[in-house]
Amino acid sequence: MTSLHKPGAAAGPRTGGPRRRRVRAGLPLPLLLPGVLALAFLLLPLLALLVRAPWRSLPAQLTSTEVWQALQLSLVSATAATAVSLVLGVPLAWLLARTDFPGRGLVRALVTLPLVLPPVVGGVALLLALGRNGIIGKWLDSWFGITLPFTAAGVVVAEAFVAMPFLVISVEGTLRAADPRFEEAATTLGASRFTAFRRVTLPLIAPGIAAGAVLAWARALGEFGATITFAGNFPGRTQTMPLAVYLALQNDPEAAISLSLVLLAVSIAVLAGLRDRWLTGT
């Protein structure tokens, strides 16, 4: 996780030699001390995780059925939630970035609301909307026989609800930065707005979409509050990794540590992937 701090170091003042030395000598204590404390605060828990990891029993832990089930469910549902976010979120991002409709600012604010909303509240809201007696869930149940809460599909719904805003915001930002005149050029060549989007805009903003998808996927993978509220915690059905970690902590701390290590490894992989491919802007 130390890589996180590299950009800050690189962004430091680029001054001449003598001056730089003077600045270094005069590093103000009121900034230096809390800064180092913050660094320790952020890194120590992760270090503890590594120190206390039951390295010897780790292979056995990770190959247990329960862990496999949770890991599998997590990966599948996070990927499905990301797919849902892509299919619905990219068009929404396009509407927000490229069209002008009354109340767009408000819509944009509402889209970002799940970013700051406590996930548990999101789960409760989902229950009220899509639950068996929810305002939409009622009809889904009686007309189509579809029940979402406390099912694997419910896990996907909860994760998509929390993760999609990340994708929308990321893609909308990329769209705003992309030159809309390419779409105009496509239009003058006879392309409809949809064709222009599909054949010109989409390939141009692909890196932004990929970055947004990775963020959304990582968010979905770690989703806890909305999932446990809306989908429950049934091993093998709705118990994702974060839920399994929480449960394991109460009766099998070693298993909890092992599972946490897996999630940590995934997070680091995501971060590394993002840094190398998209965030450094190569």
Partner 1 sequence: MTDIDAPKTGLAPADIREQGLDARLVVERGSFRLDVALAAAPGDVVALLGPNGAGKTTALRALAGLVPLTDGHLRLDGASLERTPAESRPVGVVFQDYLLFPHLSALDNVAFGPRCQGAGKAEARAQAAAWLDRMGLAGHSGAKPRHLSGGQAQRVALARALATRPRLLLLDEPLAALDARTRLEVRAQLRRHLAEFEAVAVLVTHDPLDAMVLADRLVVVEHGRVVQEGAPSDIARHPRTDYIAQLVGLNLYRGAAEGHTVRLDAGPSITTTEVLSGPVFVAFPPVAVTLFRDRPTGASARNLWRCEVAGLETHGDQIRADLTGELPLAADLTTVAAAELDLHPGAAVWATVKATQTHAYPA
Contacts with partner 1 by CB under 8 A lie at: 179, 181-182, 184-193, 195, 199-200, 203-204
In a 10 Å sphere around its CB, with 0-12 CB exposed, 13-18 middle and 19+ buried, how is residue 124 labelled? middle
- CB closer to partner 1, 35 vs 203: 203
Calpha distance 66→242 (Å, rounded): 13
Q: Output the smallest distance, CB 166 to partner 1, in A.
A: 25
Contact 68/202 with Cβ under 8 angstroms?
no
Q: Output the smallest distance, CB 152 to partner 1, in A.
A: 37
Which one-letter DSSP state was computed for residue 4?
Answer: G
Contact 205/175 with Cβ under 8 angstroms?
yes
- CB closer to partner 1, 187 vs 267: 187
Q: Output the smallest distance, CB 83 to partner 1, in A.
A: 23
- CB closer to partner 1, 193 vs 275: 193
Q: Is 192 helix (H, G, I), strand (E, B) or coil?
A: coil
Contact 160/231 with Cβ under 8 angstroms?
no
Q: Output the smallest distance, CB 99 to partner 1, in A.
A: 15
Q: Output the smallest distance, CB 130 to partner 1, in A.
A: 39
Single-letter code of the amino acid located at 159: E
Q: Output the smallest distance, CB 187 to partner 1, in A.
A: 5
- CB closer to partner 1, 182 vs 246: 182
- CB closer to partner 1, 186 vs 226: 186
- How many separate helices (H) and strands (E) can be counted in the chain? 16, 0
Calpha distance 85→75 (Å, rounded): 15
In a 10 Å sphere around its CB, with 0-12 CB exposed, 13-18 middle and 19+ buried, how is residue 79 labelled? middle
- CB closer to partner 1, 94 vs 161: 94
Q: Is 100 helix (H, G, I), strand (E, B) or coil?
A: coil
